[in-house]
Amino acid sequence: MYFQDSHAMQGVYTLPEVCARCEVPEHVLVYWSDFFRRLKDESGHLKTAFSEEDLELIARVKKCLYARCMTVQEAVREIAEQEKSVPRVAEQEAPSAPVIAVKAEAQDKEPLMPTAPIFAVPPQVSAAPEQGSFSDLMEGGLKHLEEAISAQKNRFENRLTDQNAEFSAVRSECAARMSDLTTSLGCEQEKNRRLTQLIDQAVKDLEALRIEVFGDK
């Protein structure tokens, strides 16, 4: 307990202390840090040492998401507007005039505000975070579900189109074959008719020849 209080007196908090004080799990802070870059260190990972301003930022994000039911993008815009309207002040006030003079001299060399923005929406997120606020998880889940349904629908429609094309081709081929068979059958029937006529005529001719040779007996 004394260790934590000593950190608090110095205005520096460890990650477990921040999670306990703000009642926000570590994985949620990791997710938020993708949108609020001030929560990351120079290596691009979640900080391990947090200032009072960081805790204030986390509390404001939590209020926007949980109390006001905003999305992360809406919270980014809301806090951005707040940052524009309220100028930031130094994190700690100096206890004496000499220290103020030293700080003033240091401010001439280094800017008071950080050069990098304290928050920013990533230009492109390759994959949705595994965990986050409930509304963001629901929104991401619905989006993935809609994309999956749309993709499945497209696959079914493409498959149905292919099957219709195959069926049309088979039907056309069957119709062509039926036409050929009908034509062939007609030809065969005509041949049979003519052959029958020839046979009948041959029978008549033979009968006439028999009568002529042998007489009508």
| Stronger pLDDT, 129 or 182, i.e. the higher one | 182
Weakest mean pLDDT among 51-55, 148-152, 190-194? 148-152
| pLDDT above 90 for 167 | no
DSSP state of 134: H
What are the residue ranges spanned by the domains of the chain? 1-88
Lowest mean pLDDT among 8-12, 57-61, 139-143, 212-216: 8-12
- What is the C-alpha to C-alpha distance for residues 213 and 117, in angstroms, rounded to an integer? 128
* Mean of pLDDT values over 195-203: 93
**What is the identity of the amino acid at 53?**
E
Assess whether pLDDT exceeds 70 at residue 118: no
Cβ 83 vs Cβ 57: under 8 Å:
no
Nearest Cα residue to 71 out of 17, 116, 21, 133: 133
Q: Shortest CA distance to 133 belongs to which of 70, 80, 78, 76?
A: 70
Tell me what percent of the residues of the chain surpass a pLDDT of 70.
73
Could you tell me which of 22, 120, 126 has the C-alpha nearest to residue 80? Answer: 120
User: One-letter amino acid identity for 32?
Assistant: W
Output 132 or 56, whichever has higher pLDDT. Answer: 56
How far, in Å, CA of 7 to CA of 49, rounded? 10
Q: How sure is the predictor about 133, in pLDDT bands with cuts at 50, 70 and 90?
A: low
> Residue 115's pLDDT band (boundaries 50, 70, 90)?
very low
Query: Higher confidence at residue 213 or residue 31?
Result: 31
CATH 1.10.1660.10 fits 1-88, yes or no: yes
Average pLDDT over residues 36-62: 93
How far apart are alpha carbons 7 and 5 in whole angstroms? 5
Structure-token pair, residue 176: 């062509």
Quick one: tokens of 82? 């707040």
DSSP code at position 42: T
**Which pLDDT value is given to residue 209?**
87
Mean residue pLDDT across the chain:
77
